[in-house]
Amino acid sequence: MTTASDISESVREGSATATETIKSALSAIAKRDKDLGAFVFVCEDHALKQADRIDGMAADDKRRLPLAGVPIALKDNICTDFAPTTCASKILDNFNPPYSAHVTKKLIEAGAIVIGKTNLDEFAMGSSTENSAKCITRNPWDRGRVPGGSSGGSAVSVAAGMTPIALGSDTGGSIRQPASLTGVVGLKPTYGRVSRYGLVAFGSSLDQIGPFARTVEDAALLLGVIAGSDSRDSTCISTDVADYLGSLSDSIAGKKIGIAREYFGEGLVDGTRKQVESSLEKLRELGAETVEIDLPLTKYGIACYYLIATAEASSNLARYDGVHYGHRSKNVGDIVEMYSASRVEGFGPEVKRRIMLGTYALSSGYYDAYYLRAMKVRTLLRRDLEKAFEKVDVICSPVTPDTAFKIGEKSSDPLAMYLADVYTITANLAGIPAISVPCGFDDAGLPVGLQIMGPAFSEATLLNVAHQYQINTNHHKKMPV
Amino acid sequence: MANPLSESDVRHIATLGRLQLSNDEIAMMTEELSAIVGYVDQLNEVDVEGVVPTAHAVDVQNVFRDDVVRDSIGSDKALANAPERDKTFFKVPKVLDQDTV
């Protein structure tokens, strides 16, 4: 599998054309995606036109493109003004955004070529990509299993070698968990590092867009392109974007890695534990020092998250009312009936469940007991981490308690599905960055991921540690058949 | 243990959330939400006395922008996805009852 940095270099130097690259990616999708279901829309015309534009550029202009001719897949909750954006929901079935997301524009400016939109759990709500009104996405390592979610399609596009890189969004683990379950790199940046303009909102204080790649180097390259301030997202931070590629080769000798026993307790299966522990051994061999830390509030993260995320979602999803865009019910009398009928017909079961929970948490008489209390617990969870980062540079843990589960295995028990997010949601609640890097395979041959979390704006450190681990191991070189 | 939520609670929430749920959905949602609410009740174990709530994990400050007129997307683009339109308007079913007009 060719990396994004190799493709880009060949196109910049003229030893390959963008058109050839795009044609080969399109044929890979045509061949492999039939039984994987990663893509909900392939933008062939747009991609070929963009390729032609890049091939027609003057050599000097082409040389300035960090992602020249690189095919990329976007999760279908990232707006594109040249392709539909559906959030894998019936309510946005025929929605063509009037504008492109900030990240979409940044990618095009950098020479990347959006080749398609990928499947997700409807409105990014889920951990398996099964809650999609579009299709089932299968894990390329075992087609009877889920790829994780909610950015399952983007993870599979990269894992199966259809595109070298992809973008997803992460509200409670939706980049890191599918990256872990499909054996690729996935990074959730610091809240505010990447503009959310044009990302369809789910939990506005938690959502972040981030990269998928096979190599940490490609993830660093892609993050460098999409990070930075944007006046259209007032929560986007203007702090300078670090040189993510420049620090990859630094030594990690002396780096302090925090290990919290709360992330290695009950529920973590042996196959995953074994691989994560051997990756920690490898990091020690590379000179890092592991330090035991306490994160005693970890277990309250899920309850805290599912109140805050659903409260924000219930408010964000109020905009789908059948008036301005999206599905409108045919069975309507007055306007309130039109809202209620359009919404019940357009949303799937998990989205309805979360709107209901969030509405309840915000409703009169329950606001203090649920939403307000959850926001206070969030403060304590943050403080726990801040205290830990006074002693350590990064915190390492598993990404998920188990490897990929079978399609349908958990769909009848929503709470069981939520509980599996225990290791990833804290980073969203605290706003800090976290990366998932492949760290081996369990006995069934399913990928396992190592999570590395760091303080706000420490992406360069996370990428450095992950890269040093990756270039000294071979897990990322194995491809699914 | 009795469910923390009754069917009539769930019907009320559905009205607030503008979701016209069927009777079957109400019954199922009562079970599922009760299980989830039962689980999140564990937050009561945490001492939050005097703790300031976090709405945003990264400190956000008010951002001003210059007060200048800029191009907007225009009504055609804005209306392009409308389920129903009439000239430059979004068209909706009647908002007021005949009696109240």
ipTM: 0.93
A367 and B CB contact within 8 Å: no
B58 and A CB contact within 8 Å: yes
Residue B21 lies in a domain: yes
Residue B72 lies in a domain: no
Closest alpha carbon within chain B to A338: B93
B29 and A CB contact within 8 Å: yes
A186's enclosing H/E stretch is strand A185-188
**What is the CA angle A275-A279-A280, rounded to 5?**
120
Residue A113: count of CB within 10 angstroms of its CB:
27
Could you read off the pLDDT of A324-349 as tens digits, one per residue?
999 999 978 899 999 999 999 999 99
Pair of tokens at residue A168: 């997803």
Residues 6+ apart with CB under 8 A from A402: A268, A269, A271, A272, A420
Report which residue type is found at A366: Y
The range of the structural domain enclosing residue A154 comes to 1-481
Distances (CA, A) of B27 to A29, A288, A416, B6, B51: 43, 54, 20, 9, 37
Nearest Cα of chain B lies from the Cα of A234 at a distance, in angstroms, of 6
User: Which region holds residue A428: left if phi is over 0, alpha if psi is between -120 and 50, else beta?
Assistant: alpha
Closest alpha carbon within chain A to B25: A349
Could you read off the pLDDT of B63-91 as tens digits, one per residue?
888 899 999 999 999 999 999 999 999 99
Residue with tokens 């290695």: A264
B31 and A CB contact within 8 Å: no
**DSSP one-letter code for A79:** -
The range of the structural domain enclosing residue B34 comes to 7-43
Residue B86 lies in a domain: no
Answer yes or no: are the C-beta atoms of A405 and A395 closer than 8 Å: no
Answer yes or no: are the C-beta atoms of A85 and A120 closer than 8 Å: no
Among B3, B28, B45, B92, the residue to mutate for chain A (most A Cβ within 10 A): B92
Could you read off the pLDDT of B46-66 as tens digits, one per residue?
999 999 999 888 877 788 888
Taking a contact as any Cβ pair under 8 Å apart, which residues of chain A between 193 and 222 contact chain B?
205
Q: Is B73 helix (H, G, I), strand (E, B) or coil?
A: coil
Q: Is A118 helix (H, G, I), strand (E, B) or coil?
A: strand
Residue B20 lies in a domain: yes
B44 and A CB contact within 8 Å: yes
To the nearest 10 degrees (0 to 180), the angle between helices A349-362 and B7-16 is 90
Domain of residue B24, CATH code: 1.10.20.60
Could you read off the pLDDT of A85-109 as tens digits, one per residue?
999 999 999 899 999 999 999 999 9
Pair of tokens at residue A185: 């790199």
Is the pLDDT score of B40 beyond 60?
A: yes
Q: Which residues of A are catalytic?
A: 75, 150, 174
To the nearest 10 degrees (0 to 180), the angle between helices A216-226 and A102-109 is 110
Nearest to B58 by CA among A205, A229, A459: A205
Among A302, A324, A356, A378, the residue to mutate for chain B (most B Cβ within 10 A): A356
Among A376, A410, A421, the residue to mutate for chain B (most B Cβ within 10 A): A376
Whole-angstrom Cα distance, residue A211 to residue A227?
Answer: 11
* Number of domains comprising chain A: 1
Residue with tokens 């690259």: A21
pLDDT beneath 70: ranges in chain A: 1
A453 Cα distance to chain centroid: 15
* Number of domains comprising chain B: 1
Residue B2's pLDDT is what?
Answer: 59
Nearest Cα of chain B lies from the Cα of A21 at a distance, in angstroms, of 33
Nearest to A437 by CA among A284, A240, A282: A282
Residue B15 lies in a domain: yes
Check CB contact under 8 Å for B53 and A430: no
Nearest Cα of chain B lies from the Cα of A415 at a distance, in angstroms, of 6
A165: phi then psi, degrees, rounded to nearest 5: -140, 160
Residue A333's pLDDT is what?
Answer: 85
**Helix and strand element counts for chain B (H, E):** 3, 2
Taking a contact as any Cβ pair under 8 Å apart, which residues of chain A between 396 and 425 contact chain B?
414-415, 418
Residue A429 with chain B: CB contacts under 8 Å = 54, 57
Domain of residue A29, CATH code: 3.90.1300.10
A103 Cα distance to chain centroid: 14
Residue B57 with chain A: CB contacts under 8 Å = 191, 205, 378, 382, 429-432
Residue A232's pLDDT is what?
Answer: 92
Q: Is A451 helix (H, G, I), strand (E, B) or coil?
A: strand
Whole-angstrom Cα distance, residue A86 to residue A320?
Answer: 12
